């Protein structure tokens, strides 16, 4: 379609995608309301919808990121259609709007897309998404293992069995578990079940860890993984997970942008001369945030390059090693200073994780 000035204008097509259906809203140039239609979720139905428009280059398609993933976006791109996947949390919403339907969602999305008020997310490549799936599967298995272990320890506590010698889940603790005796037959059966499930989950995590470590030296991930793993606390598993989740580091123009993506920045409610900062937003990528938090605990101790970190340094250049050492000195020192002021340990670790994210961003964009 051609406007009055003779320039071709875009048609904005918004899709509300579900498992069993897609509601589409097409906003023609100059129109104030979208034309709605409902189609099936399969590629053939989407192809027929796209075929109704004479010029695919005129189409601007968008849909919200969700459980259906990126298969639709990749298919539309392959067919020569401009498609953006929208961040749901960044869609403007009116506080008084309490009506939500598929048609309203699609129509609103089309209007906001034309107004340029939507934030698109990066669609990962199929290889990046595949590695991300493997990393997330391993994280899910590890979360299951932690839940099973908490249940086992809670059971033993109810029966007066508490391990006090050293940390739990060490070899000594495992030997102690093998020696635990429960008198009542039903309780003994419950204990044996808990213990068997814990051993099964541990075996699953070990198997998935070995599978994941096989990707450390595979391109296009190897360079990024080795550079991230040069930093204390960022083991290969964490480096793989962060690499799979981030993809292109250059999309963050500043370190603060990456910190916001992790959800580690404090929330803020300020007005006039009053400024109040609260808990972290937790609005970003939960997997990256988890890896950074776990890595930050390693900075409780004095700066040191241990044997494992020294082996990881063999795969990177001197500039990366220097930046890693600088980060370690700064973060370890910051932990000691905050700990001396009796700051809550969880707050300290959150601050360390946020700054560690800044160092990793600087490393990957240098």
Query: What pLDDT does 267 receive?
Result: 87
Which sequence spans correspond to the domains of the chain? Answer: 11-121, 126-213, 222-365
Query: What pLDDT does 60 receive?
Result: 96
Superfamily of domain 11-121: Ribonuclease H-like superfamily/Ribonuclease H (3.30.420.10)
Query: What pLDDT does 95 receive?
Result: 79
pTM, entire model:
0.88
> Which string of b and e fits 38-56 if b means at least 16 CB within 10 Å?
eeeeeeeebeebbeeeeee
pLDDT profile of the chain (366 residues), mean per 10 = 46 96 94 94 96 92 95 95 94 86 95 95 93 96 97 96 93 94 95 97 97 95 97 97 94 94 89 83 92 97 96 97 97 97 96 97 96
Please classify residue 57 by burial: count the beta carbons closer than 10 Å to its beta carbon, then call 0-12 exposed, 13-18 middle and 19+ buried. Answer: exposed
């Amino acid at each position: 379609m051609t406007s009055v000035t003779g320039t071709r204008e875009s048609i904005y097509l918004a899709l509300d995608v579900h498992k069993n259906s897609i509601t589409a809203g097409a906003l023609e140039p100059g129109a104030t309301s979208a034309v709605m239609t409902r189609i099936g979720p399969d590629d053939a139905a989407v192809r027929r919808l796209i075929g109704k428009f004479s010029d695919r280059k005129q189409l601007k398609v968008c849909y919200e990121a969700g459980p259906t993933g990126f298969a639709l976006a990749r298919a539309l791109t392959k067919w020569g259609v401009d498609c953006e996947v929208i961040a749901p949390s960044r869609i403007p919403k009116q506080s008084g709007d309490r009506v939500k339907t598929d048609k309203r969602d699609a129509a609103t999305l089309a209007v906001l897309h034309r107004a340029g008020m939507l934030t698109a997310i990066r669609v990962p490549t199929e290889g990046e998404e595949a590695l991300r799936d493997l990393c997330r599967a391993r994280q899910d298995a590890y979360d299951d293992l932690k839940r099973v272990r908490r249940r086992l320890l809670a059971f033993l506590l109810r029966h007066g069995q508490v391990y006090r010698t050293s940390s739990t889940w060490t070899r000594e603790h495992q030997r102690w578990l093998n020696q635990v005796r429960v008198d009542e037959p039903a309780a003994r059966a419950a204990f044996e079940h808990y213990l068997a499930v814990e051993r099964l989950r541990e075996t699953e995590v070990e198997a998935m860890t070995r599978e994941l470590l096989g990707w450390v030296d595979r391109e296009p991930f190897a360079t990024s993984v080795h550079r991230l793993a040069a930093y204390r606390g960022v083991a290969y598993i964490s480096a793989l997970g962060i690499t799979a989740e981030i993809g292109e580091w250059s999309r963050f123009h500043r370190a603060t942008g990456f910190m916001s993506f992790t959800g580690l920045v404090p929330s803020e409610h300020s007005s006039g001369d009053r400024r109040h900062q609260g808990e972290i937003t937790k609005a970003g990528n939960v997997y990256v945030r988890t890896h950074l938090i776990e890595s930050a605990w390693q900075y409780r101790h004095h700066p040191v390059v241990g044997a494992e970190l020294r082996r990881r340094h063999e795969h990177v250049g001197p500039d990366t090693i220097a930046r890693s050492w600088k980060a370690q000195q700064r973060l370890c020192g910051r932990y000691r200073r905050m700990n001396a002021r009796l700051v809550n340990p969880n707050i300290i670790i959150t601050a360390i994780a946020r700054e560690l994210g800044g160092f990793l961003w600087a490393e990957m964009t240098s």
